[in-house]
Structure 1
């Protein structure tokens, strides 16, 4: 092949590359909303899309179009609901030995570890509520730590103060005392019915 013919092919390739580049530039300007007016070029960018939307339109198959939703194992603070709480059994015990759910002495062993509660009928649900876990905290008393504890329904509280509220936890002594600031458990356990907040 002669040098002049090779030079001609090279020129053709360069022209094609310039044409492709020009087309690409025009596409970008069109995307940004560029228009021509009269004999001069006026750049008028109207309703320019945010950079994040440019990325989404450029890479539709990437993870940007399907953001990952993270969930919390516990309900957000807005889902805390009011309830009442008392305690029964020994001060550092598991309430009753097993209770209406039939767990027996397992309530004092892991994973329960005496952090259990009897529930009023709206929690016990004729036995269907057995094993349900709730997060309970108290904040309306100066002896409350404000920190929540997790308790499991292992028993039923069918009468007394448990029926005076829509939701009532009759906590084990250990669980109730765990709601108090250090050194104030005995005093908190003497208040009677304690106002608490709970969530699943």
Structure 2
């Protein structure tokens, strides 16, 4: 599979999660979006937990594909070893978070494996590492600044415990999508210019 296809999966990751969350909420009367953890949508009290859990596994799979695409694309286009390293680490952080997300779907609450050994926590680093990987001296830096802003937003959510509970994960997925989309665009520009 080509890195552009893998990156496309990463771009779609937050959309798949949003559809999963929307379906889970629709099937769980009484779910409080601003107060309840999303995990309960796939737990024993949910009317149709399999639908939500399958969506988590699919979202995790999209993230794994995107992570591999990030690592491959950055290695192919980076001219600086630090950028290549940061891009590879951004891919690794997304990979770990995505495996943790898929584990949440495979092992729904109350399984002790539901939280996937805390792997999803690594996703908080994806926007920061991605921002460093995308930053170019002399470039506009819009995507890098957006990713840095999403990292600060995740940090604020985590430190303050501000609602809603799903916000840090959504910020991580949005950052993965932005990173994947930007890398796809850079691949297209390099391909159009004959640079490989």
* TM-score range normalised by the length of the shorter chain: under 0.3
Higher helix fraction (1 or 2) = 2
Q: Which structure's CA Rg is the greater one?
A: 1
- Give the TM-score normalised by the residue count of structure 2: 0.23
Higher strand fraction (1 or 2) = 1
